[in-house]
Structure 1
Amino acid sequence: MKLNLLFKSASIYIVTGVANSAIPFILLPILTRVLSPSEYGKIVMFSSAFVVISSIVCLSVHGSVSVKYFDINIDHPRYLATSLMVVFPSAMFCIFFIIVFSNPLSRYVGISHWWLIFAALASVAQFIVQLRLLMWQVSHNAFKYGVFVVSQTVMNLAISLFFVLGLSYGWEGRGVGIVLSMFLFGIVAFLSMQVAGMLRWKFSFMYAKSMLKFGIPLIPHSVGGLLMSMTDRFAISALIGIEEAGVYAAAMQIGLIVFVVSDACNKSFAPWLFSILSKNDESEKIKIVKYTYFLFFAIPVLAYFFGKIAPWLLQFVVGSQYQSGSGAVLFIALGGGFGAMYYLVANYVFYAEKTGALACVTLFSGVVNVVLAMLLVKANGSVGAAQAYMASQIICFFLTWIIAGNVYSMPWKFFIWK
């Protein structure tokens, strides 16, 4: 793909990524003034639980679909349909687990188990949406990708505001907005793929085995990622209280803007990278390393400067009752920056399909985050949680880079020497 097309796609992904992340950001000054920190904390816990459940239900199958898209020997419509037939029983098992352990789960998360069941069902819809978006992404159709994401963002925002402000549903109104918009666009995404002939409903054990071989080693990877991204909120809720978790989450929304923008860039970078790697051209590899090193410099600098001004932004957006979380923003921004850099090097591990090693790194980093969060939250409060998050992201990035250099040859050292 030509470089100008890459930049054009990246700009669209950035706009749509920012638009998608704009939901919590736009709702932030509204919800923090309408709801108490305790109620906002419940929104945070539901959103966090939804992310955890989605990672379990989806089994990282969409990653396999992305990698296999460039394999000309794959029957892609059958592969996509098989992926859906793999995820559905996974969701049913997850719902069964939630029902059996409903009481302890409700006490730990702080919300009714019914909301956890809704989250499991919405995870299936989210997986379908991910497939539809992935097909546009790998085929370099960034415009349709952007229209779909922005439309879903607008629907999510409208439903949430209607139930929170119009019907005074409290924090549950935000939950309805998340779940209902996901269901509606899951249906649209499914019909879009079906009409376009992207699904051929004939189950393949060989394809299912390939997906699970790719995805199952990534379960520890997903668990590690969740430990890195979610431990801070759960630790604050357990050790300090759900009200402080709500305050911290408001700071988190501000601090992760750098990560959102960088992640949007990666959505354009990854398909381009996979297509270049398939050619095995040494001169193109040097160009890739050049762009990557530039991002390694730019992302932390951007994160640092944004983290320095973000406390002022936090006070302006959410108000004084959430201002106590401002001290955590700089560490969150730096952690999000290193998290974005992680994706740049993890792409090589995904391409080489050496996901087992990646799982070990993320799981180790996640455990480090848990230990540090428990120690630092007791010592420094919510700032300690942010410090633990930053430390785990830095560890994960450097270890993943080392693995990437071992599983796929790139001229990292040659470029530095030149």
Structure 2
Amino acid sequence: MNAKKFLALQSLFYGFANSIEALVPLLLAPILTRMLDPTGYGVWVLFVTYATFMRPIVGLTTQDAIRMRFLDFDQKQLDQFTHTALLVMVALAVFVSLATMVFGDFIETATKFPKAWLVSIVIAALLYEVFYMVLALQQFHNRRKQFLLTQVIQAGLSMAFIVAFLTSGWDWRGVVLGRMLGMAIAAAYSLRSLGFTLPSLFRVPKRSFYRNIASFGLVYWPAGAVVMVVGTTDKVVAAHFLGIEASAMYGVAALFASAFWMVNYSFVMAWTPWLFRKLKAAAEDGMQEVVSVSALYFVLAALAAASFYFFAVLFAPIILGEAFHTAIPLLKYIMLAIVLQGFFMHNMKFLHYDKRIEMMSAFSALAIGLNIGLSILWAQSMGIRGIMLATAVSFLAAFLISGVLVIARYANLQKGARTLAG
């Protein structure tokens, strides 16, 4: 019960902190769905989608590398690793930005996104990656005050800038600029709170981890990017086969599911450091406590998803403009997909602790491949609903297969604990 109380309190805190960010798109929805037409909103959805997809390309999933190695590094090594990671991110962002300029015409045709604003996607991806990396550091350092304040700054400034730009007559471009400004200021604050100064960031690290970061990022990329790639696939398939307006409807439906995802992610944030420490001692202490918490998670996650769904159905007609009401019947499908996505990520944390990144990437690649194939197939026969069902089936398959390995891992640890007790 002590473990459950601790995790409950930690989850409530992270749930509250993460809900601040989750509330931004929900609070903006009444404004954006009334001040932007479906096409303009669709371009904004594509911007967020591509920036999210670009994050692991620019950042090489460094935040997960930090989580995996946090307990192995002393503070000096951790600072060196983080500094090197930031330098690598900036270098990759510059390279990708140049590539978008060179191949702008082709990328514009393939992505349905305006060529002149392609570089903004890369910059946003860099800002997102830095922002979430420092949140991971604040989480593992248990600096909850800084974690909360970083979220407040980002959310508050993003909303303020976006509303100011829209009321000044800007279209979706104002939404893009407002979001980027808010994220940039929050990222700068969070880096400063961790002890990084501007002069130190411009210095090349004396002891670097370039090879470590690059090798981890390349192998781990499917695992670190699976959620982003699947989300990107869904919206791009919707835009290509059903039109940009369909991508907008998908994005509107996903707003409410993303609110549930933040609650689910808050538990994972609180649970991951605790799980890693429990697994480290599992050979002696056994796995009963871990199994108990995991079982409780599956039950509560399903109940929370159902609650969010009924809330969304009730309030969506009030929040959304009339042009977007056709997205409401899609809520149940996207909510199911998000629940199964959370179940899969639960299994991945066990493999993450064991540093089995190749296996994590293999399961993630399975989910990505299934989603691409099924989305294209079902979009043509079932529309947006088919794309969402493809996501649910893909994560269900990956969850079930990865679960076999997790159960095998539990049985081995439990057997060892019983042997030591005997």
Q: How far apart in 2 are the matches of 1:357 and 1:174?
A: 39
Q: Residue in 2 aligned with 1:168?
A: 169
Q: Residue in 1 aligned with 2:304?
A: 302
* 1:78-227 to 2 correspondences below 5 Å: 78-165=80-167, 167-194=168-195, 202-205=205-208, 207-227=209-229
What amino acid is aligned across from residue 186 of structure 1 in structure 2? A
Q: Structure 1's 256 and 134: CA in aligned 2 closer, same or farther, altered over 3 A? A: closer
Q: Residue in 2 aligned with 1:353?
A: 355
Query: What secondary structure is seen at the aligned counterpart in 1 of 2:142?
Result: coil
The question of whether the paired residues in 2 share the 8 Å contact of 1:58 and 1:124 is answered with: yes
Q: Structure 1's 16 and 78: CA in aligned 2 closer, same or farther, altered over 3 A? A: same
Q: How far apart in 1 are the matches of 2:3 and 2:303?
A: 28
What amino acid is aligned across from residue 156 of structure 2 in structure 1? V
Q: Structure 1's 323 and 245: CA in aligned 2 closer, same or farther, altered over 3 A? A: same
Q: Structure 1's 317 and 278: CA in aligned 2 closer, same or farther, altered over 3 A? A: same
Q: Structure 1's 410 and 340: CA in aligned 2 closer, same or farther, altered over 3 A? A: farther
* 1:22-37 to 2 correspondences below 5 Å: 22-37=23-38
Q: Residue in 2 aligned with 1:395?
A: 397
Q: Deviations over 1:78-129 (max 9, x none)?
A: 1221222222222122112212221121223232234221221233333332
Q: CA RMSD in A?
A: 2.6
Q: How far apart in 2 are the matches of 1:280 and 1:350?
A: 16
Q: How far apart in 2 are the matches of 1:212 and 1:278?
A: 27
What amino acid is aligned across from residue 216 of structure 1 in structure 2? L
What TM-score do you get using the length of structure 2 for normalisation?
0.90
Q: Deviations over 1:29-68 (max 9, x none)?
A: 1110111111100110000011011121000112111121
Q: Residue in 1 aligned with 2:64?
A: 63
Q: Residue in 2 aligned with 1:292?
A: 294
Query: What secondary structure is seen at the aligned counterpart in 2 of 1:129?
Result: helix
Q: How far apart in 1 are the matches of 2:384 and 2:413?
A: 40
Q: How far apart in 2 are the matches of 1:113 and 1:171?
A: 15
The question of whether the paired residues in 2 share the 8 Å contact of 1:62 and 1:131 is answered with: yes
Q: How far apart in 2 are the matches of 1:151 and 1:128?
A: 15
What TM-score do you get using the length of structure 1 for normalisation?
0.91
What amino acid is aligned across from residue 380 of structure 1 in structure 2? M
Return 5+ residue gaps in structure 2 as ranges. Answer: 418-422
What amino acid is aligned across from residue 332 of structure 1 in structure 2? I
Please say which of residues 244-253 and 299-308 is displaced more in the overlay. 299-308
What amino acid is aligned across from residue 171 of structure 1 in structure 2? W
Query: What secondary structure is seen at the aligned counterpart in 1 of 2:194?
Result: helix
Please say which of residues 105-114 and 169-178 is displaced more in the overlay. 105-114
Q: Deviations over 1:236-271 (max 9, x none)?
A: 111111112112211111233222211111111111
Cα drift, residue 155 of structure 1: 0.8
> Percent of aligned pairs with the same residue?
19
What amino acid is aligned across from residue 163 of structure 1 in structure 2? F
Cα drift, residue 284 of structure 1: 5.8
Cα drift, residue 150 of structure 1: 1.7
Query: What secondary structure is seen at the aligned counterpart in 2 of 1:75?
Result: helix
Query: What secondary structure is seen at the aligned counterpart in 1 of 2:71?
Result: coil
Q: How far apart in 1 are the matches of 2:69 and 2:224?
A: 20
Q: Deviations over 1:295-330 (max 9, x none)?
A: 112212332453355333322210332121222210
What amino acid is aligned across from residue 121 of structure 1 in structure 2? I
Q: Structure 1's 375 and 275: CA in aligned 2 closer, same or farther, altered over 3 A? A: same
Q: How far apart in 2 are the matches of 1:380 and 1:3?
A: 42
The question of whether the paired residues in 1 share the 8 Å contact of 2:53 and 2:229 is answered with: no
Q: Structure 1's 352 and 164: CA in aligned 2 closer, same or farther, altered over 3 A? A: same
The question of whether the paired residues in 1 share the 8 Å contact of 2:7 and 2:267 is answered with: no
Q: How far apart in 2 are the matches of 1:49 and 1:367?
A: 18
The question of whether the paired residues in 1 share the 8 Å contact of 2:154 and 2:182 is answered with: yes
Q: Residue in 2 aligned with 1:11?
A: 12
Q: Residue in 2 aligned with 1:280?
A: 282
Q: How far apart in 1 are the matches of 2:288 and 2:301?
A: 20
What amino acid is aligned across from residue 136 of structure 1 in structure 2? Q
Q: How many residues end up aligned between the 2 structures?
A: 412
What amino acid is aligned across from residue 38 of structure 1 in structure 2? T
Q: How far apart in 1 are the matches of 2:197 and 2:40?
A: 43
1:249 aligns with 2:251: yes
Cα drift, residue 342 of structure 1: 1.9
Q: Structure 1's 186 and 343: CA in aligned 2 closer, same or farther, altered over 3 A? A: same
The question of whether the paired residues in 1 share the 8 Å contact of 2:97 and 2:119 is answered with: yes
Q: Return the match for 1:331 from 330, 333, 349.
A: 333
Q: How far apart in 1 are the matches of 2:83 and 2:283?
A: 34
Q: How far apart in 1 are the matches of 2:284 and 2:309?
A: 38
Q: How far apart in 2 are the matches of 1:220 and 1:105?
A: 22
Q: How far apart in 1 are the matches of 2:355 and 2:160?
A: 40
